[in-house]
Amino acid sequence: MTAYAVGHLYEVDMCPDIVAYLEQIDATLAPFGGRFIIHGGPCDVREGAWHGDLIVIAFPDLAHARNWYDSDAYRRILPLRTRHARGAVFLIDGVDPVHKATDILQ
């Protein structure tokens, strides 16, 4: 089942370290089948308040997502981001394509 790395980042200082992180992250994703689904951009807020950027990266499954996040290649560039951006990042399983809202009631 597809899994996702999700980040809600804010207070990003677009400095040389962030630029270096962006220039290097794609190469860390490739060996784990990761690809960007959402990478910031304008948000059409319909309810509540939103600030910052949403980043969603898809992986073939949760094991691939975990192995990417824990990889030496990603760990080497991670401080480039964490020193200059605040926010939450988490890994989460997706749902089956036939998932219905009521499935969580079971």
Pairing of strands 3-10, 86-93: antiparallel
**Is residue 106's pLDDT more than 90?**
no
Segment 59-88 mean pLDDT? 98
Structural domains of the chain ordered from first start: 3-96 (3.30.70.100)
Stretch (H or E) spanning 63: helix 62-69
Give pLDDT tens digits for 21-35. Answer: 999 999 999 999 999
- Whether residue 64 is predicted with pLDDT greater than 90 in this model: the reply is yes
- Rounded to the nearest integer, the mean pLDDT of the chain is 96
